[in-house]
Structure 1
Amino acid sequence: MSQVRISRQHWHSLLGELDLARRQRHLLTYRALIERLQLPTPAMQTLTAALEYLAVLDARAEQPLRSSLVISQGASRLPRTGFFACVERLGRFSGPVDGLEAASWHASEVVRVFEYSYPEERSADC
């Protein structure tokens, strides 16, 4: 996969939207997030890359994964399968990416995110 970059402004906006969702205890769809952030094309690839990067940062800091707050619009109400592939690489989840195990893991991770207090990230380097 080619290296996709997100601007510093979009990165901080993404963190802000996820923080707001966490405090309000609700989930965001990929489409809603792309529209709110006004990401340029290729928006989905940019958002996916940014969420995977954030997952790596959260895993490294041994924090719940904020990227779990972003879900598909479909009936599953789960993140895309690439999210589960990413968290599997990070050693956070193993199992089928489209089954009950994935849904159960995701639900518990979302609760962990809602209940966790993240350190301020104004100085995050992109």
Structure 2
Amino acid sequence: MSGVRISRQQWDGLLGELDMARRQRHLLTYRALLERLQLPTPAMQTLTAALEHLAAIDARAEQPLRSSLVISQGASRLPRTGFFECAERLGRFTGPVDGMEAASWHASEVARVFEHPYSEEA
């Protein structure tokens, strides 16, 4: 995990929160995750790096990106643009990172995450 200062316990906590959200078929905001995980400062960068690391793991395993379950609190109900840029680097998404294309790709990725049987040890 290049540059990610996150403990094993916090990483497991992140995976646990995402797994619970997936099973309950709901999304999490960055703020809610930050509050629950108590990440070291700068917390938002730490969370972003951890989510991007997880996206890379999911992409390598050819499974839907669990990090798509984390969204901004704003009206868009979408992840930050960095999520789409990361997905693009991983070869999962192409197009403008803010707009209908991104929104519809995100909605289908979330649906795929909800349906995917992730292995427990990932």
CA–CA distance in structure 1, aligned partners of residues 108 and 6 of structure 2: 29
CA–CA distance in structure 2, aligned partners of residues 112 and 42 of structure 1: 31
Give the equivalent residue in structure 1 for 2:31.
31
Question: How far apart are residue 39 of structure 1 and its match?
Answer: 1.1
Matches of residues 91-110 of structure 1 in structure 2 within 5 Å? 91-110=91-110
CA–CA distance in structure 2, aligned partners of residues 12 and 3 of structure 1: 18
Q: Deviations over 1:39-86 (max 9, x none)?
A: 121110000000000000000000000000000001110000000000
TM-score (norm 1): 0.93
CA–CA distance in structure 1, aligned partners of residues 60 and 4 of structure 2: 21
CA–CA distance in structure 2, aligned partners of residues 3 and 20 of structure 1: 26
CA–CA distance in structure 2, aligned partners of residues 41 and 116 of structure 1: 32
CA–CA distance in structure 2, aligned partners of residues 41 and 19 of structure 1: 24
Question: How far apart are residue 4 of structure 1 and its match?
Answer: 2.8
Q: Say if 2:6 and 2:40, in contact at 8 Å, map to a contact too.
A: no
Q: Percent identity?
A: 86
- Structure 2 unaligned blocks of 5 or more: none
Aligned-residue Cα RMSD (Å) equals 1.0
- Structure 1 unaligned blocks of 5 or more: none
Give the equivalent residue in structure 1 for 2:77.
77
TM-score (norm 2): 0.96
| SS at 1:73 equivalent | coil
Give the equivalent residue in structure 1 for 2:8.
8
CA–CA distance in structure 2, aligned partners of residues 3 and 15 of structure 1: 19
Task: Output the amino acid matched with 2:89.
Answer: R
Give the equivalent residue in structure 1 for 2:51.
51
Question: How far apart are residue 88 of structure 1 and its match?
Answer: 0.1
Task: Output the amino acid matched with 2:35.
Answer: E
Matched length: 121
